């Protein structure tokens, strides 16, 4: 069964989610200075993956959002493996930028694994909170649900990545500082995008004819394809 079924825009959102994830994977190593704190440049666009997750969970339900997450994770893992293969293959003698290329794409396995664990755990937490709060609020207060789910999801994502990938490398004070800065900045980006989220969600519900409530959903994060669910 196709993950997109007969929906018009689900495939597009899956493609966008994968694209933002791969872009973030390839550019996460660039550190910039914001308010005196060194953070990855991805703080400006990685939050879009959480906006997409919120839209998917709100409109199509947790199960479909979970399937999109699995596809995204598989794409990220494949990209990470082939980055390593590309770096390992000796460059031509006339290729002058081999060192720079290797620096960018020669991501150490610990950082790769940290990134994958962070993406999976953070996204699952985000979607779970989003789905459960939708039931609790009877579909009201979308802005509360998007922001609270982001606070949880981005918090888990940032903490897992820094702990797995950078603990023991960065001093503890810089580690905690980086976690807090990344968490706050990512949350702010999504909060600022709330009006856009409202518009997209409203349009999608009308176009797709679906507004799913996860009242009977199996929230097991390790199910790859979504189970059959009723449209409500």
Q: What is the pLDDT of residue 16?
A: 96
Q: What is the pLDDT of residue 190?
A: 82
Cα distance between residue 65 and residue 73, in whole Å: 12
Q: Give how many domains the chain has, as a whole number.
A: 1
For the chain, give the secondary structure using H, E and C: CCCCCCCCCHHHHHHHHHHHHHHHHHHCCCEEEECCEEEEHHHHCCHHHHHHHHHHHHHCCHHHHHHHHHHHHHHHHHHHHHHHHHHHCCCCCCCCCHHHHHHHHCCCHHHHHHHHHHHHHHHHHHHHHHHHHHHHCCCCCHHHHHHHHHHHHHHHHHHHHHHHHHECCECHHHHHHHHHHHHHHHHHHHHHCHHHHHHHHHHHHHHHCCCCCCCCCCCCCCCCCCCCCCCC
Q: What is the mean pLDDT of the chain?
A: 87
Residue 228 resides in a domain: no
Give strand pairing partners of 37: 34
- Tokens representing 155 are 């918090």
Residue 110 resides in a domain: yes
Which residue carries 């669910």 as its tokens? 229
Cα distance between residue 77 and residue 45, in whole Å: 20
Q: What is the pLDDT of residue 62?
A: 96
Q: What is the pLDDT of residue 105?
A: 79
Q: What is the pLDDT of residue 232?
A: 46
Give just the sign of the alpha carbon dihedral 153, 218, 204, 144: negative
229 pLDDT higher than 60: no
Q: What is the pLDDT of residue 221?
A: 95
Q: What is the pLDDT of residue 226?
A: 63
Structural domain of 92: 10-208
Residue 167 resides in a domain: yes
- Tokens representing 84 are 């390593």
Q: Where does the pLDDT of residue 40 fall: very low under 50, low under 70, confident under 90, or very high at 90 and above?
A: confident
**Higher-confidence residue: 33 or 11?**
11
- Tokens representing 41 are 């440049």
Residue 181 resides in a domain: yes
125 pLDDT higher than 90: yes
- Tokens representing 194 are 């709330």
Q: Where does the pLDDT of residue 138 fall: very low under 50, low under 70, confident under 90, or very high at 90 and above?
A: very high
Residue 226 resides in a domain: no
Cα distance between residue 33 and residue 24, in whole Å: 17
Q: What is the pLDDT of residues 156-182, one digit of tens each?
A: 988 998 888 777 777 888 788 888 888
Residue 215 resides in a domain: no
Q: What is the pLDDT of residues 53-91, one digit of tens each?
A: 999 999 999 999 999 999 999 999 999 999 889 888 999
**Where residue 94 sits, what CATH number does that domain have?**
1.10.1760
Q: Where does the pLDDT of residue 103 fall: very low under 50, low under 70, confident under 90, or very high at 90 and above?
A: confident
Q: What is the pLDDT of residue 227?
A: 58
Residue 90 resides in a domain: yes
225: left (phi over 0), alpha (psi -120 to 50) or beta: beta
Residue 97 resides in a domain: yes
Q: Assess contact for 153 and 123: CB atoms under 8 A.
A: yes
**Backbone angles phi and psi of 4, in degrees to 5:** -85, -15
Q: What is the pLDDT of residue 112?
A: 84
């Amino acid at each position: 069964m196709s993950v997109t079924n007969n929906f018009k825009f689900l495939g597009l959102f899956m493609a966008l989610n994968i694209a933002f994830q791969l872009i973030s994977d390839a550019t996460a190593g660039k550190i910039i200075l914001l308010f005196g704190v060194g953070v990855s440049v991805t703080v400006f666009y990685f939050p879009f993956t959480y906006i997409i997750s919120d839209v998917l969970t709100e409109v199509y339900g947790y199960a479909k959002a979970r399937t999109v997450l699995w596809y995204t994770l598989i794409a990220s893992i494949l990209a990470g493996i082939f980055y390593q293969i590309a770096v390992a293959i000796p460059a031509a003698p006339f290729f002058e930028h081999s060192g720079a290329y290797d620096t960018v794409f020669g991501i150490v396995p610990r950082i790769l694994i940290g990134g994958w664990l962070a993406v999976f755990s953070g996204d699952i937490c985000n979607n779970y909170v989003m789905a459960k709060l939708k039931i609790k609020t009877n579909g009201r207060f979308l802005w509360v649900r998007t922001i609270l789910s982001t606070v949880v999801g981005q918090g888990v994502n940032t903490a897992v990545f820094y702990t797995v990938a950078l603990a023991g490398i960065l001093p503890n004070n810089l580690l905690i500082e980086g976690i807090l800065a990344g968490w706050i900045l990512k949350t702010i980006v999504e909060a600022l995008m709330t009006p856009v989220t409202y518009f997209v969600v409203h349009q999608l519900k009308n176009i797709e004819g679906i507004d799913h409530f996860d009242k009977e959903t199996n929230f097991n994060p390790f199910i790859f394809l979504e189970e059959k669910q009723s449209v409500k």
